[in-house]
């Protein structure tokens, strides 16, 4: 697994009533949490993402259904399938992401290290490459 992203396998507490997963900042989530947002009502014919973040880190969990995420740090690329509420994708800063193939009414939850700030986005791939070259992030 690349140092700029990793799959987190969450422990679930299961009994006859069902399952429970608990995520704590500084524990399963490797940063202080400042924001949570979620994507739902997702159109299977439309992709999302196509950006990187200068500083923001996040953990993505597909709470229902399934989606694919292409992650790219300018050197390595990997396609990751998120298909379980017990699996998280940790993304360091400076990782380009493309999200697609939403299936079975996918609901994607993001647990995030920063408040929303459009200035933190790199929404053009060439700008992303220039940014990581200038900042020696990789
Ligand atoms: C990411 C992927 C997984 C806000 O006003 N507040 C927010 O917290 C967020 C996340 C977005 N917005 C606004 C900005 C845009 O006007 O909502 C609109 C849609 O955002 P965006 O086009 O960035 O959505 P996605 O799904 O392409 O990307 C989002 C996150 O922005 C991004 O950080 O990693 O989900």
111 lines ligand 1 (CB under 6 A): no
* Tokens representing residue 98 in the block: 């493309």
**Per-residue pLDDT tens for 36-93?**
999 999 999 999 999 999 999 999 999 999 999 999 999 999 999 999 999 999 999 9
Which residue's alpha carbon is at the smallest distance from atom 1 of ligand 1? 49
pLDDT class for 1, splitting at 50, 70, 90? Answer: low
Q: What separation in Å is there between the alpha carbon of 20 and the centre of ligand 1? A: 27
DSSP assignment of 61-114 = EEEEEEEEEEEE-SS-EEEEEE--TTEEEEE-SS-EEEEEEEEEEEEEEEEESS
* Tokens representing residue 100 in the block: 């697609």
Residue 131's pLDDT is what?
97
Residue 138 has pLDDT above 90, yes or no: no
116 lines ligand 1 (CB under 6 A): yes
39 lines ligand 1 (CB under 6 A): yes
């Amino acid at each position: 697994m690349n140092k700029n992203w990793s799959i987190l396998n969450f422990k679930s507490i299961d009994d006859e009533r069902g399952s429970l997963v608990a995520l704590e900042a500084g524990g399963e989530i490797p940063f202080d949490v400042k924001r949570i947002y979620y994507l739902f009502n997702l159109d299977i014919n439309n992709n999302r993402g196509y950006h990187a973040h200068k500083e923001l880190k996040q953990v993505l969990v597909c709470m229902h259904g399934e989606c694919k995420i292409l992650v790219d740090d300018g050197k390595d690329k990997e396609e990751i399938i998120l298909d379980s509420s017990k699996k998280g994708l940790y993304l360091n800063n400076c990782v380009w992401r493309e999200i697609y193939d939403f299936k079975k009414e996918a609901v994607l939850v993001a647990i995030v290290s920063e408040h929303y700030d459009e200035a933190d986005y790199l929404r053009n791939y060439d700008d992303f490459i220039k940014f990581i070259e200038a900042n020696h992030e990789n």
